[in-house]
Structure 1
């Protein structure tokens, strides 16, 4: 047997009955010749890792808009942290770690510049609406590789689409959904403390007593709770889930809706609305691949695709070039 076939057979021997093996699954919309060395889910992971949208995540906001400090999370570091947490859970439950990793690496490819603020702004101005998990799927299906897409397997596509608030078709997809929240809650606490808008003593006392008083302890507690709960239904014991949910609600009140964290949002709104109006009025200035989308679908869809793919810095630079006067040279 070639190496890929050996790997596929090893999966059947080692994985849990709840896991999604490559054999019998991993179908693509466009059939391709299999790789002799990698399984299909491994190929998906590699395609995501090497795509343009993945590289742009390094300059996209997580919570704080374009932070100047080196240690604040970006969308890229968040993605890597989600992948590691999800892989730990999948490995412990004998799920398919390659499938889990591919979904985790691709789950936020469709995030707009300026984080969830940008998502809300685009949702309000684009007639098609805008939700980052749907855009992530659109990125891998229709935008990457100049419109060719990555031709990912159905299981990875489903996991990307369902990572926010839907039940995925695979256990691996549901692991990523849980890991995403574990990662961003605990890492956003750390960033909020660094930014001075939250103090560690502000966290609910009962949450700290159950989950732990440090980032590491909380992540360990939550990951362990998911593993102990088992692969039949991805979740946590009710007492741990209750503290998880209370911490999540606390962060929305004190961090995500905090006036200090949101103080630049009105500027982001003006910037994105201005760029959107500009390209609606000047479609010939869109890059060629987005002009093609405008022809095949419609102009608002193409403009939203273009703007949503921008990094924070690129959007600011483009706005500056278009609307800020330059000095005479």
Structure 2
């Protein structure tokens, strides 16, 4: 047996009845010869990890725009924390850890510069609308590898598409990523807000701290433990007391951090920057780089401009704005 076949035999024998087995994948849009070493989901994980869009996540905002300090989360560190939480849950429930990791690593590939501020701006200004989870699928299907896409399995693409809202993923692994995403961002955003002086631990409601714990690690541990202990029959769930506290913590974070005028002071500028870039390139599509000019010809200038701007890092968006709209000193 090849290493892949041994892994797939292990999956068949040891994984939960609710797990997605790689041997039973719905496959890829373009059929490929099997790898002798890796299962289809392992190959998907590796393709995502090595793609350009994944590397750009290190320079994309999570919550705080251009924070002063090295320890604030970026979209990349958020992605890695989601993957860690999701893999822990998947392993404990005897689900497919490789599929879970692939979805986790790919779930935010289509996110804009400046976090949700950039997403809101593109959604407002473009007649096509914009949702980062749909763009993440477009990245892996259309934009990566010079337009060839990564040719991922159906289960990974479905998990990426369904990771945030609307219809749930078709697999348990995809549904785990959706929950892990929420666990990760709520807790690491608390950590960043405390670091930024927006919150203290004591600001968190007492009943939430009593149910979940008074430290970052304790909260994450409580939430994961509750999911593992109370999920059954293919349904992910927490015990009611923990689920209620987590819901209250979510509401608290929206009230105190996500809509906080200090934490979000620069978001209006970021949204204006994104809108100006969008208006510039849709009115001058000939200025788009070559690969996006090709998209412009086949799918229109709005689609090409969305793809170009959504793929920018924070730094590149600012640099492009300065180049286009900020006058340079005269070198005489």
- TM class, shorter-length: over 0.9
Partners of 1:201 and 1:316 lie apart in 2 by 37
Q: How many angstroms does 1:164 deviate by? A: 0.3
Q: How many angstroms does 1:262 deviate by? A: 1.3
Cα deviation, 1:244-263, whole Å, max 9, x if unaligned, reads 11000100110000001111
Once the two structures are overlaid, the 10-residue window that deviates more, 74-83 or 270-279, is 270-279
Determine if contact 2:120/2:271 at 8 Å carries over to the other structure: no
What is the aligned partner in structure 2 of residue 262 from structure 1?
Answer: 264
What is the aligned partner in structure 2 of residue 173 from structure 1?
Answer: 174
Determine if contact 1:66/1:313 at 8 Å carries over to the other structure: no
What is the aligned partner in structure 1 of residue 104 from structure 2?
Answer: 104
Determine if contact 1:106/1:160 at 8 Å carries over to the other structure: yes
What is the aligned partner in structure 2 of residue 85 from structure 1?
Answer: 85
Does 1:310 pair with 2:287? no
Matched residue of 2:23: which SS?
A: coil
Determine if contact 1:19/1:96 at 8 Å carries over to the other structure: yes
Q: Unaligned 5+ residue runs, structure 1?
A: none
Once the two structures are overlaid, the 10-residue window that deviates more, 109-118 or 224-233, is 224-233
Q: How many angstroms does 1:328 deviate by? A: 2.8
Cα deviation, 1:202-223, whole Å, max 9, x if unaligned, reads 1011000000000000000000
Does 1:217 pair with 2:218? yes
What is the aligned partner in structure 2 of residue 323 from structure 1?
Answer: 325
Does 1:113 pair with 2:113? yes
Determine if contact 1:60/1:311 at 8 Å carries over to the other structure: yes
Choose which of 294, 300, 303 in structure 2 pairs with 1:301. Answer: 303
Cα deviation, 1:165-201, whole Å, max 9, x if unaligned, reads 2311000000000100100001000000111111111
What is the aligned partner in structure 1 of residue 276 from structure 2?
Answer: 274
RMSD of equivalent CA atoms: 0.9
What is the aligned partner in structure 2 of residue 35 from structure 1?
Answer: 35
What is the aligned partner in structure 1 of residue 205 from structure 2?
Answer: 204
What is the aligned partner in structure 1 of residue 58 from structure 2?
Answer: 58
Partners of 1:304 and 1:261 lie apart in 2 by 26
Partners of 2:287 and 2:262 lie apart in 1 by 36
Runs of 4+ in 1 over 4 A off after TM superposition: none
Determine if contact 1:26/1:41 at 8 Å carries over to the other structure: no
Partners of 1:193 and 1:43 lie apart in 2 by 38
Q: How many angstroms does 1:233 deviate by? A: 0.2
Partners of 2:120 and 2:133 lie apart in 1 by 13
Determine if contact 1:26/1:40 at 8 Å carries over to the other structure: no
Cα deviation, 1:127-176, whole Å, max 9, x if unaligned, reads 11111111111111111112111110000000000100231100000000
Aligned length in residues: 329
Determine if contact 2:89/2:227 at 8 Å carries over to the other structure: yes
Once the two structures are overlaid, the 10-residue window that deviates more, 264-273 or 206-215, is 264-273
Matched residue of 2:190: which SS?
A: helix
What is the aligned partner in structure 2 of residue 70 from structure 1?
Answer: 70
Once the two structures are overlaid, the 10-residue window that deviates more, 70-79 or 272-281, is 272-281
Partners of 2:323 and 2:126 lie apart in 1 by 23
Does 1:227 pair with 2:197? no
Q: How many angstroms does 1:325 deviate by? A: 1.4
Q: How many angstroms does 1:26 deviate by? A: 4.8
Matched residue of 2:22: which SS?
A: coil
Once the two structures are overlaid, the 10-residue window that deviates more, 170-179 or 1-10, is 1-10
Determine if contact 2:81/2:184 at 8 Å carries over to the other structure: yes
Instruction: Map residues 107-186 of structure 1 onto 2, 5 A cutoff.
Output: 107-165=107-165, 166-186=167-187
Q: How many angstroms does 1:68 deviate by? A: 2.4
Determine if contact 1:178/1:235 at 8 Å carries over to the other structure: no
Partners of 2:237 and 2:180 lie apart in 1 by 10
Partners of 1:223 and 1:10 lie apart in 2 by 25
